[in-house]
Structure 1
Amino acid sequence: MTRYRQPGLVLTDHRFQVPLDHARPDGEQIELYAREVVASGRAGAGLPWMVYLQGGPGFGANRFHGKQAWLGRAVKEFRVLLLDQRGTGSSTPVSRQTLPLRGGPAEQAGYLAHFRSDSIVRDCELIRPLLTGGAPWTVLGQSFGGFCAVRYLSAAPEGLAAALITGGLPSLDGHADDVYRAAYPRIARKTAAHYARYPQDVGNARRIAAFLRANRPVLNSGYTLTVEAFQSLGIALGGGDGSHALHYLIEDAFVETTQGPQLSDAFQERVHAALSFAAHPLYALIHEAIYGQGARPTDWSAERMRAEFPAFDAGLALAGDVPLPFTGESVHPWHFEVDPALRPLRETADLLASRTDWPRLYDQDRLAANEVPVAAAVYHDDMYVDTAHALRTARSIRGLRTWVTDEFEHDGLRAGGPRVLDRLLALVRDEV
């Protein structure tokens, strides 16, 4: 273990060996990394533990500098574990560089089938007694981390003192098609709100899309910027400051050159940073798999559901005078063609999309008999997680208390962390 300090905090690095397949505990092992954080004045105190599960899938835990966001509130009374879920951050990595070590696409897809919430919860239950001495801990789950928390309540509630969920109540029995069929109308609303705020972006976005349609440029990074890829910048609209970020990104896209107007280097760099999956390929690979339950494949659900909403066809905007529609949090087959970080993994992704033996993730009978204190922040028009689905799940978990708010978007835990965490703790303690 390595121990070090930041202002007001003592941090300790932990590394654990866990089975790739928990059904074969003596089989192949992978490494998990986690960072323990405690207030410097309480480093030796016997504090209860809180484990934080990041959203995604495919993102490591936050790399905070000091008591940022919700962490400052948490360390007032908890010893916090920032866990890099398997395949993310400093845990055993997953990427186009490492997956060929597994073998071909079939072996890679079989390997990645062990990176969903069921395996993540088993990981937590392996490392919990090593840290807490066997005492249950509180889980804080953001977005996909909330999906993991609901799985935790289904599979190992004895390990939990409480569950706090922010923007992450999954549909318990819905197929990926249900998720994306509900998502596209929300994305359309967010896009309309963006153009209402920044009407000049109607012309800016259409001009960029027309250039992309005519030229299909390859960015300096090697990323092929298609119209569909440009539309996917709308993923930012699910965050509290996302509309502003999108506006500033596209307002100065072009520069005059000897060949006429071209996409500026600055625009290319910023677009690549927003669109590339190089830093988090696991997100693209298993994004739809997190909804897989039973024999029905996900089968590139977001792509198929998009066809049910012809208003998202960029051709309508380019042929007429309607605003260009942006899209949101979805992964499509074309991502594995335009992004150099994903191109070698297309066949692997196809195999995951066609998989028909996903274990069920949620035990509805056990959730209906739940005894763990649970509170969930539900954002009233969350672009990433359907509010109706979330509230239906909330009603299915015994004792769960909701805080439904329109003060925050999906990133409320980042934007208003201390207040959000305060509210959820008060709910699980019956203080409000």
Structure 2
Amino acid sequence: MAIQPARLLSRRQHVLPGMLHINEVFFEVPKNYAAPKAGTLKLFGRVVNRSEIPAVVPRLQPEFVSKKPFLVYLEGGPGMGNQPPQDVPLTKHFLDRGYQLLYLDYRGTGLSTPINAKHVTSLGDAAAQADYLKLFRQDNIVRDLEAVRLCLTEHSPRDRKQWSIIGQSFGGFVSLTYLSKYPQSLRESFITGGLAPIGKTPEAVYEATFKKVIERNQVYYQKFPEDVERVWQTISHISNSTDGAIRLPGGGLLTVERFLSIGIAFGMHGGLNAIHSQVLKMAADLDQFNFFTRSTLTGFEQNLGFDVAPIYALLHEAIYCDKPGVASNWAAARVGGKLKEFSWLAEPGKTEFTQPRAGEPVFFTGEMVFPFHFDTFPELVELKDAAGLLAKYDEWEELYDEDALRKNEVPVYAASFVEDMYVDFDLARETARKVKGIRVYETNGLYHNAVRARSEEVLAELCRLRDDPKD
């Protein structure tokens, strides 16, 4: 599919502390590349260079882009917009290595025509909403990247028209789609915790990741054995509340199922401690007041970002449907419901949690989306019917070209984590074998978010893969 350059709508430039020269830019791209006259979307990004002007003379540079090669950061998710560049550890690392950076919010995220219930429901019935949401996966994200690349490098010399990419988590999925569809546009690709399970069904993905979730629950309760009783205390209180739910300050519902979803943090550096702090706070409230305080409930709402980034819930299983004929059909719920540790997923809301079973821990789920989330998050409730249609849809575009990856000539450097709870290590290894020339740093000492939590270590290893010749 031929891609036309994105249209630059606006740019504003600023010098920030830390000697960063930022251009904030908005682009316009087709909503549907297969029907380019059917409407447009806006994309927001930040072009980052090092300011060469002393901080005491805060003049702005007239150039839009510098002569340095571009490195584009591809965020995780799906659904998360980019943080300000000054808050991202890799900014300094790669500026020091001679790049200029682009942080581009994917379509539907951040400031790039973000998905939200009010707008999506205004498009029509559930079928119309689902048709719109289908346009926000990896396939169209890489088309947007191509359109923006053509715009930004229009006046660049030939050796500067390619750019480098670095993809974290879901950003790695996007990277592999980019390598499949437009490898000629890439100089190199870095991937951290994002070697997508190419060729695996959603069921196979969740069969693998649930195993790691069980392991992380076991580690959690070994570290905080006192939380076995506290978790029972919390879910019993919720179960015995009116209609088995507690109204949250933001309008959502705290149910047992939603409470048990906060285990998504278990796979992060510091995640066990974060969940322990939440459980401790809730149990302390019950001991002192026999109810949850507003402070506690407000803090609880921050555990899952589905109200802030509903696209994360709407398309999470769809990113694993990598070719036509594959539908998710709520794969996580079906797979988890067959496991004794998560048997309540087979019939959520019907399992009795009112009578604690002494000494028996209740396990939290991980990075999974379930139908009950669309009953408990205000931003998802109105999109429940559209989500159901997406779960049944099986005509997805192919996301990866395995033949192209076998013939790959773009240098690829990846970090893969043995203890990754989100991107299964064994499946990641299978994917690495499908990409010609890839070099992989593997470790059991880091977790999924290491590019943020242990950035210098991860980035140094990736650059060592690139800079050190392979004997």
- Which band: TM-score by shorter chain? over 0.9
Instruction: Give 1:112-261 correspondences, 5 Å limit.
Output: 112-133=133-154, 135-215=161-241, 216-254=245-283, 261=290
Residues 164 and 424 in structure 1, CA contact (< 8 A), matched pair in contact too: yes
For the 8 Å contact 1:70–1:416, the answer to whether it is kept is no
The number of residues matched between the two structures is 431
Compared CA separation, residues 276 and 59, structure 1 to 2 (3 A)? closer
Cα 1:359–1:400 change in 2 (3 A) is same
- Equivalent runs, 1:321-360 vs 2, <5 Å: 321-360=359-398
Where structure 1 has 5 or more consecutive residues not aligned to the other structure, the ranges are none
Any idea what SS the aligned residue of 1:348 has?
helix
- Contact 2:419/2:446 (8 A) holds in 1: no
Two-structure CA RMSD over aligned residues (Å): 1.9
Q: Could you tell which deviates more after superposition, 204-213 or 112-121?
A: 204-213
Q: Which residue of 2 aligns with 1:309?
A: 339
Moved more, 305-314 or 123-132: 305-314
Residues 242 and 259 (structure 1 numbering): CA distance in 2 closer, same or farther, change over 3 Å? Answer: closer
Q: Deviations over 1:369-413 (max 9, x none)?
A: 000000110011100001011000001100001100122110011
1:23 aligns with 2:34: yes
Aligned CA distance change for structure 1 residues 258 and 353 (closer, same or farther; 3 Å): closer
CA deviation vs aligned residue, 1:234-267 (integer Å, no higher than 9, x gap): 0011110111111111112156699951112221
Q: Distance in 2 between matches of 1:237 and 1:150?
A: 26
Give distance in 1, aligned partners of 2:406 and 2:23: 38
Contact 2:74/2:167 (<8 A) preserved: yes
Q: 1:291 maps to what in 2? A: 320
Instruction: Say whether 1:56 aligns with 2:85.
Output: no
SS at match of 1:396: coil
Amino acid aligned to 1:242: G
| Aligned match of 1:391 | 429
1:132 Cα deviation after fit: 2.4
User: Match for residue 89 of structure 2?
Assistant: 69
Distance (Å, rounded) in 2 between the aligned partners of 1:255 and 1:243: 18
**Which residue of structure 1 lines up, in the alignment, with residue 127 of structure 2?**
106
Question: Contact 2:195–2:428 at 8 Å: present in 1 too?
Answer: yes
Q: In the aligned structure 2, how far is the partner of 1:420 from the partner of 1:266?
A: 36
- Compute the displacement of 1:431 (Å): 4.4
1:10 aligns with 21
User: AA paired with 1:58?
Assistant: G
Matches of 1:5 and 1:200 in 2, distance apart? 50
Q: Flag the 1:256–1:189 CA change in 2: closer, same or farther, 3 A.
A: closer
**Partner residue of 1:378?**
416
Supply the AA of the counterpart residue of 1:151: T
| Displacement of 1:144 | 0.4
Counterpart-to-counterpart distance in 2, 1:258 and 1:373: 57
Verify the 8 A CA contact 1:54 1:62 in the aligned structure 2: no
Aligned to 2:455: 417
- Aligned match of 1:319: 357
The C-alpha deviation readout for 1:108-131, integer Å capped at 9, x for no partner, is: 100111100010001111110211
Residue 140 of structure 1: SS of its match in structure 2?
A: strand
Mapped contact 1:72–1:418 kept (Cα < 8 A): no
SS at match of 2:142: helix
Q: Deviations over 1:321-367 (max 9, x none)?
A: 31110110010000000111110000000010010201111111110
The residue matched to 1:252 in structure 2 has which SS?
Answer: helix
Q: Distance in 1 between matches of 2:359 and 2:286?
A: 28
Question: Counterparts of 1:259 and 1:129 in 2: how far apart (Å)?
Answer: 61
| Counterparts in 2 of 1:298 and 1:234: CA distance versus 1, 3 Å | same
How far did 1:101 drift? 2.7
Contact 1:254–1:264, Cα closer than 8 Å, also in 2:
no
Conserved 8 A contact 1:53-1:145: yes
Q: Tell me if structure 1 keeps the 8 A contact 2:313–2:369.
A: yes
- Distance across 1 between alignment mates of 2:214 and 2:304: 20
Q: Supply the distance in 2 between the matched residues of 1:347 and 1:55 (Cα, whole angstroms).
A: 26
Conserved in 1, the CA contact under 8 Å of 2:254 and 2:376? yes
Q: Look up the match of 2:442.
A: 404
- CA separation of 1:323 and 1:10: change in aligned 2, threshold 3 A: same
Cα contact 1:176–1:288 (8 A) shared by 2:
yes
1:15 alignment partner AA: F
Structure 2: 5+ residue runs without aligned partners? 1-10, 54-60, 345-351
Distance 1:286 1:430 in 2: 38
Partners of 1:73 and 1:431 in 2: how far apart?
21
Distance 1:336 1:79, change over 3 A: same
- Aligned counterpart, 2:402: 364
Contact kept, 8 Å, 1:336 with 1:342, in 2: the verdict is yes
Q: Distance in 2 between matches of 1:212 and 1:152?
A: 45
- CA distance, structure 2, for counterparts of residue 218 and residue 289 of structure 1: 30
Deviation at 1:199, TM superposition (A): 1.6
Q: Distance in 2 between matches of 1:405 and 1:351?
A: 39
TM-score norm. by structure 1 comes to 0.96
Secondary structure of 1:38 counterpart? strand
Contact 1:254–1:261 (CA under 8 A) maintained in structure 2: no
The equivalent of 1:32 in structure 2 is 43
DSSP 3-state at the match of 1:34: strand
Kept in 2, the 8 Å contact 1:212–1:227? The answer is yes
Of 260-269 and 367-376, the range deviating more from structure 2: 260-269
